[in-house]
Amino acid sequence: MDLDAYTAAHRADWDRLTELGARRRLSGAQSDELIERYQAGATQLSAIKSTAGSTLEGDRLSVGLSRARLRFTGVSANVLAQIPRFFVAQLPAALYRLRWLTLAVAVVTFVVAGLYAVWAYNDPRVLANLGTDAQLAQLANEDFVGYYSENPAASFTGLVWTNNAWIAAQCIAFGIVGVYVPFIILQNAMGLGTTAAVMFAYDKGDVFFLYIAPHGLLELTAIFVAAAAGLLIFWAWIAPGARTRGQALAEDGRALFTVAIGLVFVLLVSGIIEGFVTSQPWPWAIKIGIGAVALGAFLTYMIVLGGRATRAGETGDLSEFEAGSTRIYGA
């Protein structure tokens, strides 16, 4: 196909399609014309993409077709009716895409944290750089446990929820720069490792795990998912495949923004556990059991429900949520 000649031959038709799509009011005849031009334009766009791939002219025609489609389909009048689909299909499908990368992030985090813990625990000079003996003893014997009860449970829940949600959002939003997510992973791993080293150095290793586990099982998993989403956005820019970089970033960015929304709710649950469960004088089997049940529910949602939604053709793309039931099939 000679794209320039093809464009010249159909330019007037596409301009007319754009003009009709931009009008606030259409007569009956103009509405019929818009539908006819939309159908012809969709066929022409398909011909352009099949022979020339992504082109500037094709992208312009695609925008015109999108505007025209909204004129005769409108937007779903009841957005609330689409919310069940978001939670039952789109969100789990988007999470399912990240399952293996999430596992990789978790493994890297725990390996690095373990290396830092072993290094700091076995080298007194490293511990000395973290604080004086009195300061470290204060942390191990009082501050670590006291952190979870020094504020009212409700306000503490809100504090950790907003802090963790902000970290997760940054991982996804700044993932495209490439270095931000590895920096967050390394920073978290260092924090876990050095804190564990201090607690074990003062014979409080059991306290470390008993106070981290109830909320940390779900909280850390959510952060791993956010890091995986950020890395996937970066990879879409580095290796877009057959798509242009703009297409890859737009498509993956919309799908992974779904993850950012979902993690807000996941981190709310972990925040509630941290605020209302971790500091309670209950048997540790109950407290850790609550955290394990929350993690199990999330992994089931991510893997089982997400796998089912993916096999059904769901992508997690929010543009489908916005279109709702007004999508045009076969157009």
Both tokens assigned to 211: 């106070």
Question: Strand, coil or helix: what is 275?
Answer: helix
Q: How does pLDDT run across 229-278, given as a tens digit for each residue? A: 999 989 888 888 777 777 778 777 777 888 999 999 999 999 999 999 99
Does 35 score more than 70 pLDDT? yes
The packing angle between helices 245-276 and 205-238, to 10°, is: 170
Residue type, 135: Q
Closest CA relative to residue 119, chosen from 188, 189, 184:
189
**pLDDT score, position 10:** 83
CA distance 288 to 305: 25
Residue 321 confidence class, pLDDT cut points 50, 70, 90: very low
Which of 24-38, 168-182, 215-229 is predicted least confidently? Answer: 24-38
CA distance 206 to 201: 12
CB contact at 8 A, 130 and 120: yes
pTM of the shown model: 0.73
Q: How does pLDDT run across 85-116, given as a tens digit for each residue? A: 889 988 999 999 999 999 999 999 999 999 99
Domain ranges for the chain? 1-71, 79-310
CB atoms within 10 A of CB 314: 21
Does 324 score more than 60 pLDDT? no
**pLDDT score, position 78:** 56
**pLDDT score, position 46:** 82
Give the distance, in angstroms, between the CA of residue 49 and the centroid of all CA atoms in the same chain: 30
Residue reference for tokens 């999330």: 298
Residue 79 confidence class, pLDDT cut points 50, 70, 90: low
**pLDDT score, position 2:** 75
* Average pLDDT rounded to a whole number, residues 60-72: 77
Residue 320 confidence class, pLDDT cut points 50, 70, 90: very low
Residues 6+ apart with CB under 8 A from 274: 148, 156, 157, 160, 214, 215, 219
pLDDT: is 324 or 122 the higher one? Answer: 122
> Can you say whether residue 262 is alpha, beta or left, with left for phi > 0 and alpha for psi between -120 and 50 degrees?
alpha
pLDDT: is 261 or 22 the higher one? Answer: 261
Does 7 score more than 50 pLDDT? yes
Both tokens assigned to 229: 């989403």
Does 168 score more than 90 pLDDT? yes
Does 124 score more than 50 pLDDT? yes
Does 184 score more than 90 pLDDT? yes
CA-based diameter of the chain, in Å? 85
Both tokens assigned to 92: 């789990």
Question: Strand, coil or helix: what is 314?
Answer: coil
CA distance 220 to 38: 48
